[in-house]
A and B are shown apart, each in its own frame.
Chain A
């Protein structure tokens, strides 16, 4: 059939062009832009975690800054105080975050909607305070400095442009894994649970276990992003892990479009670049950023990725598939 083939090739060509452009950026762009784009990739990894939960399970995770902080402190404390190799710090951060998410998710993921959002928000507030109080571990407001560059024996990521490739490479890998997860049995079950919880329950999907699993995965992505952040800026302190940071991570999937993974890249670029562009307007730029966010939510209900699809005139899939179809899909996989 010609239509799908041409669509596929257009998509591939667009993807190839994007990869080529992204590869060329550090060669031609000013260092400030490379720096912001590296942050975009780091925010993208953390935002992907939030987006997977929100887009696939309909769960609002406002605690991502805590997991991001655990990842950053595990890397900082491990490398600086304990002399660990960087990889050990990254893995430790992911393990601790995953375990904590499981421990806290088990009771709280029985809650629904706003209440779950509040539980994660409560976790974020309490976590921020603990980071501050446990200064023997985190350095409190003085933080931990002198975090070494990431070193994988063969290659050392000690220059901004090298780190740029690493951060975008990690984001690309995470996106591919997320894509496979969504297509997997667990992913389909999660979507069924989101769209038709009653039907999913009838089909004996263990919704609670699935939510906990997704929450653990989301937290581990947050920790991975935090580790990247720590090794990139070589200094961490409590200021980077507050509620505002959780909101920033939430904005990544929401602005880009929570249901499309390409939206994660668009959302990450938005939150990393737009405040920087608006800062040219001086003190008022935070007001403009808030209003830009409001405008995106009101004018583009499916995020910026949805707007792009609409501009191309393509037919968008229905916002929520009919429950019957979803139930059949689940029956198929269950």
Chain B
């Protein structure tokens, strides 16, 4: 094991880890706000990135404007998903399995819609710093990978601050944890749930915009991203959004070190074995304290 190889695997793990963490963060935020496991989260990532690709190519907008439009697109898609599909089910007090199934159906439909609109091709976005690389302890790391890690960390910290210190964030948490009590104090719980989905959609789109310069985005990758994000969120304790970061990094590290030091073909076998092991040994997740919500 050379030091350079070790650092290389470490950065690969950290980069993928933040991607999984951002997807997991979206899943955890939506789960916290609505008790729905949102299988569509991976599609938010793909659609967010593709909207930016479209705006850059077709409309020729400057990159920051296109990126902002992509995030707004994710936000609108998230809100629409809640209002059109989740709200009728929750009003009827449908079970968790019904919510999960609607979400699966939507993921199938959205992935097929992406195939219909964007075709089977794969798309890249321009990277921050172009193709520039940095040499860190003998390992080559792309500047955009560092940008992704920094942006991911900033988003996570911003979100933690939002949920703990802003009126809106606290209201969203209250509406999710104690809907009846929140209604009594004048919180519009339905609106809060829509906002939760909007936030999840925006986070998904942001993840897509950050990852699309490193990995090509195509219509097929939504479900795979959802699964990794879900795994990250569950590892961290599904109702604790910050846990998703720890979970995402752990899964990506196991993958990265497994690929470098054992065999590249068994990437998912390593990650999924770790997931099952952690779930059995630490049923509250990596950062969990009390009994798991949703279990």
Q: Which residue of A has the minimal Cβ distance to B230?
A: A118
Inter-chain contact B101/A297, CB cutoff 8 Å: yes
The reply to whether the CB of B168 lies closer than 8 angstroms to some CB of chain A is no
Contact with A along B227-240 (1 / 0, CB 8 A): 10011001000100
Cβ of B95 to closest chain A Cβ, rounded Å: 8
A297 to B68, CA, bound (A): 34
The reply to whether the CB of B157 lies closer than 8 angstroms to some CB of chain A is no
The reply to whether the CB of A333 lies closer than 8 angstroms to some CB of chain B is no
Q: Which residues of B contact A247 (CB under 8 A)?
A: 104, 108
Inter-chain contact B101/A132, CB cutoff 8 Å: no
A69 to B108, CA, bound (A): 22
Within 8 A of A (CB), among B102-151: 102, 104-113, 115-116
| Known interface pairs A107-B280, A123-B276, A290-B109; A114-B268 also in contact (CB < 8 Å) | no
Contact with B along A49-73 (1 / 0, CB 8 A): 0000010000010000000000000
Cβ of B140 to closest chain A Cβ, rounded Å: 28
Q: Which residue of A has the minimal Cβ distance to B112?
A: A286
Inter-chain contact A113/B280, CB cutoff 8 Å: no
The reply to whether the CB of B223 lies closer than 8 angstroms to some CB of chain A is yes
Inter-chain contact A301/B106, CB cutoff 8 Å: no
Q: Which residue of A has the minimal Cβ distance to B109?
A: A290
A110 to B292, CA, bound (A): 13
Cβ of A29 to closest chain B Cβ, rounded Å: 28
Cβ of B227 to closest chain A Cβ, rounded Å: 6
Q: Which residue of A has the minimal Cβ distance to B119?
A: A283
| Known interface pairs A113-B294, A291-B105; A133-B112 also in contact (CB < 8 Å) | no
Inter-chain contact B88/A298, CB cutoff 8 Å: yes
The reply to whether the CB of A84 lies closer than 8 angstroms to some CB of chain B is no
Inter-chain contact B105/A113, CB cutoff 8 Å: no
Q: Which residues of B contact A112 (CB under 8 A)?
A: 292, 295
Inter-chain contact A119/B276, CB cutoff 8 Å: yes
Q: Which residue of B has the minimal Cβ distance to A254?
A: B101
Within 8 A of A (CB), among B182-234: 223, 227, 230-231, 234
A254 to B266, CA, bound (A): 32
Q: List 30 A-B contacts (CB under 8 A).
A: A60-B100, A110-B283, A111-B279, A114-B37, A114-B100, A115-B234, A115-B279, A118-B275, A119-B279, A121-B227, A121-B230, A123-B272, A126-B269, A126-B273, A129-B265, A129-B269, A133-B265, A250-B101, A283-B116, A286-B112, A287-B112, A289-B109, A290-B105, A290-B107, A290-B108, A290-B110, A293-B104, A297-B105, A298-B89, A301-B98
Q: Which residues of B contact A290 (CB under 8 A)?
A: 105-112
A244 to B227, CA, bound (A): 12
Contact of B275 among A104, A110, A122, A289 (CB under 8 A): A122
Dominant secondary structure at the A interface? helix
Q: Which residue of B has the minimal Cβ distance to A119?
A: B276
Within 8 A of B (CB), among A110-141: 110-115, 117-119, 121-123, 125-126, 128-130, 132-133
Cβ of B6 to closest chain A Cβ, rounded Å: 25
A288 to B108, CA, bound (A): 9
The reply to whether the CB of B97 lies closer than 8 angstroms to some CB of chain A is yes
Contact of A126 among B37, B109, B272, B283 (CB under 8 A): B272
Cβ of B77 to closest chain A Cβ, rounded Å: 15
Inter-chain contact B272/A125, CB cutoff 8 Å: yes
Contact with A along B22-37 (1 / 0, CB 8 A): 0000000000000001
Inter-chain contact A129/B267, CB cutoff 8 Å: yes
Inter-chain contact B101/A293, CB cutoff 8 Å: yes
A130 to B97, CA, bound (A): 29
Within 8 A of A (CB), among B246-295: 265-269, 272-273, 275-276, 279-280, 283, 292, 294-295
The reply to whether the CB of A18 lies closer than 8 angstroms to some CB of chain B is no
Q: Which residues of B contact A289 (CB under 8 A)?
A: 108-109, 112
- The size of the chain B interface, using a CB distance under 8 A, is 45
The reply to whether the CB of B92 lies closer than 8 angstroms to some CB of chain A is yes
Interface centre among B104, B113, B266 (most CB of A within 10 A): B104
| Known interface pairs A118-B275, A119-B279; A286-B115 also in contact (CB < 8 Å) | yes
The reply to whether the CB of B94 lies closer than 8 angstroms to some CB of chain A is yes
Inter-chain contact B115/A283, CB cutoff 8 Å: yes
Contact of B234 among A114, A126, A132 (CB under 8 A): A114
Q: Which residues of A contact B180 (CB under 8 A)?
A: none
The reply to whether the CB of B85 lies closer than 8 angstroms to some CB of chain A is yes
A289 to B92, CA, bound (A): 24
Inter-chain contact B265/A60, CB cutoff 8 Å: no
The reply to whether the CB of A277 lies closer than 8 angstroms to some CB of chain B is no
Within 8 A of A (CB), among B18-57: 37
Contact of A114 among B88, B108, B295 (CB under 8 A): B295
Cβ of A257 to closest chain B Cβ, rounded Å: 12
A55 to B65, CA, bound (A): 50
| Known interface pairs A119-B276, A122-B272; A297-B234 also in contact (CB < 8 Å) | no
A301 to B265, CA, bound (A): 41
Cβ of A15 to closest chain B Cβ, rounded Å: 29
A284 to B110, CA, bound (A): 11
Cβ of B83 to closest chain A Cβ, rounded Å: 13
Cβ of B240 to closest chain A Cβ, rounded Å: 14
Cβ of A245 to closest chain B Cβ, rounded Å: 12
The reply to whether the CB of A240 lies closer than 8 angstroms to some CB of chain B is no
Contact of B116 among A54, A117, A122, A287 (CB under 8 A): A287
Q: Which residues of B contact A107 (CB under 8 A)?
A: 276, 280
Inter-chain contact A108/B280, CB cutoff 8 Å: yes
Q: Which residues of A contact B89 (CB under 8 A)?
A: 297-298
Q: Which residues of B contact A190 (CB under 8 A)?
A: none
Cβ of A37 to closest chain B Cβ, rounded Å: 23
Q: Which residue of A has the minimal Cβ distance to B277?
A: A107
